A and B are shown apart, each in its own frame.
Chain A
Amino acid sequence: AQSVTQLGSHVSVSEGALVLLRCNYSSSVPPYLFWYVQYPNQGLQLLLKYTTGATLVKGINGFEAEFKKSETSFHLTKPSAHMSDAAEYFCAPSGAGSYQLTFGKGTKLSVIP
């Protein structure tokens, strides 16, 4: 079974600064990897996904993530934070052949004006 660690339950950045949200998973088999965003009082929305192919994945709202097999990481980045990026972000790996996603505990991003 997969396990996933999101480093930092809360991250604060200034508007216009780099956003970096960390995700590490544990698996001997390369997984499928997803990042989701949750705005207040809403469900989860897919930001981006890695399944196969190019390891740098671009998503919605200017976010991207890089799959690094050697580091078992899938960190989420955005060059310049916007106030509207304030939300909670979840990393979720899925093992090949598994029905289930394993969700990280989430990182709440605050953007300071």
Chain B
Amino acid sequence: DVKVTQSSRYLVKRTGEKVFLECVQDMDHENMFWYRQDPGLGLRLIYFSYDVKMKEKGDIPEGYSVSREKKERFSLILESASTNQTSMYLCASRRGTVNQPQHFGDGTRLSIL
């Protein structure tokens, strides 16, 4: 089974802090994704990566950056956290063809105080 592991289930940070969310997958998948999930809005794509060191902006990239130095790891960075970034963050990975499903981690519930 594919395993996507997010480093924290719950995280509390303060406004202005630099926040790192880590995601690791164990199935040698080419594609990785970061989403945020908010009530009534569903999942919105922040960034995705189709290969090591490659990244593309999703629908809501403002205030975020990403890093993919190794194939198995995809990091989401909040450069200067703000309260409107309080949300559930979900990481996913997928084999490199679009007819394959995405596999999700359990999510990180991030609170910015």
> Are A and B interaction partners?
yes
Contacts of B92 in A (CB 8 A): 44
- A-contacting residues, B36-63, CB 8 Å: 40-45, 48, 50, 56, 58
Confirm or deny: B4 has a beta carbon within 8 angstroms of a beta carbon on chain A. Answer: yes
User: Smallest Cβ distance from B32 to chain A, in angstroms?
Assistant: 11
Q: Is the interface of A mostly helix, strand, loop or mixed?
A: loop
Confirm or deny: B106 has a beta carbon within 8 angstroms of a beta carbon on chain A. Answer: yes
Contacts of B102 in A (CB 8 A): 34, 44, 46, 101
Q: Pick the residue among B50, B98, B101, B103 that contacts A96 (CB under 8 A).
A: B98
Q: How far is the CA of A97 from the CA of B56 in the complex (A)?
A: 15
Contacts of B98 in A (CB 8 A): 32, 94-99
Contact B58 A100, beta carbon cutoff 8 Å: yes
Contacts of B107 in A (CB 8 A): 41-43
Contact B99 A42, beta carbon cutoff 8 Å: no
Measured CB to CB, the nearest residue on chain B to A104 is: B42
Measured CB to CB, the nearest residue on chain A to B42 is: A105
- A-contacting residues, B3-51, CB 8 Å: 4, 31, 35, 40-45, 48, 50
User: Smallest Cβ distance from A31 to chain B, in angstroms?
Assistant: 9
Contacts of B56 in A (CB 8 A): 99
Measured CB to CB, the nearest residue on chain A to B90 is: A43
Measured CB to CB, the nearest residue on chain B to A91 is: B42
Contact A32 B90, beta carbon cutoff 8 Å: no
Q: How far is the CA of A90 from the CA of B40 in the complex (A)?
A: 12
Contacts of A97 in B (CB 8 A): 98
- 7 smallest A-B Cβ distances: which pairs? A43-B104, A105-B42, A103-B43, A51-B99, A44-B104, A46-B101, A43-B106
Query: Which residues of A does B touch, CB under 8 Å?
Result: 9, 32, 34, 36, 41-46, 49, 51-52, 90, 94-101, 103-106
Extra inter-chain contacts (18) besides given A90-B43, A103-B44, CB under 8 Å = A32-B98, A32-B99, A41-B107, A42-B106, A43-B106, A44-B43, A44-B102, A46-B101, A46-B102, A46-B103, A49-B99, A49-B101, A51-B99, A94-B98, A95-B98, A99-B31, A105-B41, A106-B42
